[in-house]
């Protein structure tokens, strides 16, 4: 199965900062990668699909890039509501697999 490795595990940042999260795949997944945001006690929320397409209603400060094995999610100016855990997920190969997540916390 495709293993997705997210880094760093935790990111401590201040509001207004720019953050970049990484997701690396153990083999090529083309552009078949999705990003989700999860806040404590809540279900995940779709942010990005197809590696770079923002889902409906997602603010423009969220952007995704990459293809093959290297992907990034960038939040251009972190807002208070963005402190959460971010997960990547690939759908290029069965089974569908998720990364271990990056927690973005307040510095």
Partner 1 sequence: VQLVQSGAEVKKPGATVKISCRISGYTFTDSYIHWVQQAPGKGFEWVGLVDPEDGETFYEEKFQGRVTITADTSTDTAYMELSSLRSEDTAVYYCATDLSRGVDYRFDPWGQGTLVTVSS
Q: Which residues bind partner 1 (CB under 8 A)?
A: 32, 34, 36, 43-46, 49-50, 55, 87, 89, 91, 94-101
Radius of gyration of the CA atoms of the chain, in A = 13
Q: In DSSP terms, which residues pair with 23 in a beta bridge?
A: 6, 71
To the nearest whole angstrom, how small is the minimum distance from the Cβ of residue 16 to partner 1?
Answer: 28
Question: Cβ atoms within 10 A of the Cβ of 73, count?
Answer: 27
**Residue number with CB closer to partner 1 (14 or 94):** 94
State the SS3 of 69-80.
Answer: CEEEEEECCCCH
Rounded to a whole number of angstroms, the minimum distance from the CB of residue 31 to partner 1 is 9
Quick one: 17 or 67, whose CB is closer to partner 1?
67
Nearer to partner 1, 47 or 75 (CB): 47
Q: How far apart are the first and last CA of the chain?
A: 35
Least Cβ distance, residue 48 to partner 1 (angstroms): 9
Q: Which is nearer to partner 1, 17 or 46 (CB)?
A: 46
Residue in 59, 19, 30 with CA at minimum distance from that of residue 6? 19
The least distance separating partner 1 from the CB of residue 37, rounded to whole angstroms, comes to: 11
Task: At 54, list the tokens.
Answer: 């923002």
């Amino acid at each position: 199965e495709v293993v997705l490795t997210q880094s760093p595990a935790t990111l401590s940042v201040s509001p207004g900062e720019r953050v970049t999260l990484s997701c690396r795949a153990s083999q090529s997944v083309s552009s078949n990668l999705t990003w989700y945001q999860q806040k404590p006690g809540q279900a995940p929320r779709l942010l990005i699909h197809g590696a770079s397409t923002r889902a409906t209603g997602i603010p423009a400060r969220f952007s995704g890039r990459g293809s093959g094995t290297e992907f990034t999610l960038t939040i251009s100016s972190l807002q208070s509501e963005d402190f959460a855990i971010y997960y990547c997920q690939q759908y290029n190969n069965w089974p569908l697999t998720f990364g271990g997540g990056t927690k973005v916390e307040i510095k």
